[in-house]
Structure 1
């Protein structure tokens, strides 16, 4: 096996999701190919060393993202934690709001405005 890469499939929101994720600290776009209609055919970004692939599905489907699969983000500082939570949480929904839950210095679990679930952690 060569690599395991998270793959996020959207229905028309991949471009907006990429714009949001590229505002995260340490994020950079590695590749993006759009369809003639302007939808994301395939993109790959690097989130602090983790490659993530993103696409707009060319086929409509009746499912979306679920919190049972999430991206877990460890932050280096309280400021970075606050920045990430503010960025991803704006327009999203908190499953566990930023707080101290006893297993780390700070933690939050949220669904971003595009439905992708993130666990944001500041280790103790």
Structure 2
């Protein structure tokens, strides 16, 4: 399974941020203007992302911007989880993803992990960073 995030017009910015934080790369990106639906797309959405894929840490995250006239209701009921190889790497990931966002549980030791923390990033996406060893 893969997560697919839908953004409110800032998918390209979010994916670039995630690529930097997670040492990943956007391996595919298509705007509405580049799609077969270009002639059906209002000018306001031509440069928005119709579909993109980010590859990082051996996984893929897919994303797009909402099509025209679709309301954005935010993100509810899930978190993206990233596993760190060490406590120090986990702290770095946590700080990078949390830049401009909100910490909901500070990164630190728990009964199940040497390092764990929760945050909502600057795009409104919830993340959990875990370092078990």
Over the residues paired in the alignment, what is the CA RMSD in angstroms? 1.5
The equivalent of 1:15 in structure 2 is: 12
Do residues 54 (structure 1) and 54 (structure 2) align?
A: no
Say which structure is richer in helix: 2
Give the deviation of 1:96 after TM superposition.
0.7
**Could you tell me whether the CA contact under 8 Å between 2:91 and 2:115 is conserved in 1?**
no
> What are the equivalent positions in structure 2 for 1:96-115 lying under 5 Å apart?
96-115=105-124
Q: Which moved more, 1:27-36 or 1:98-107?
A: 27-36
Give the deviation of 1:40 after TM superposition.
1.0
> What are the equivalent positions in structure 2 for 1:1-124 lying under 5 Å apart?
4-36=1-33, 37-58=46-67, 59-66=69-76, 68-124=77-133
TM-score, structure 2 length as denominator?
Answer: 0.82
TM-score, structure 1 length as denominator?
Answer: 0.88
Q: Highest Rg: 1 or 2?
A: 2
How far apart in 2 are the matches of 1:101 and 1:123?
9
Aligned length: 120
**Could you tell me whether the CA contact under 8 Å between 1:5 and 1:51 is conserved in 2?**
yes
**Could you tell me whether the CA contact under 8 Å between 1:89 and 1:111 is conserved in 2?**
yes
In structure 2, the CA distance between the partners of 1:55 and 1:86, relative to structure 1 (3 Å rule), is same
How far apart in 2 are the matches of 1:62 and 1:38?
18
In structure 2, the CA distance between the partners of 1:122 and 1:31, relative to structure 1 (3 Å rule), is same
Give the deviation of 1:26 after TM superposition.
4.2
Give the deviation of 1:60 after TM superposition.
2.6
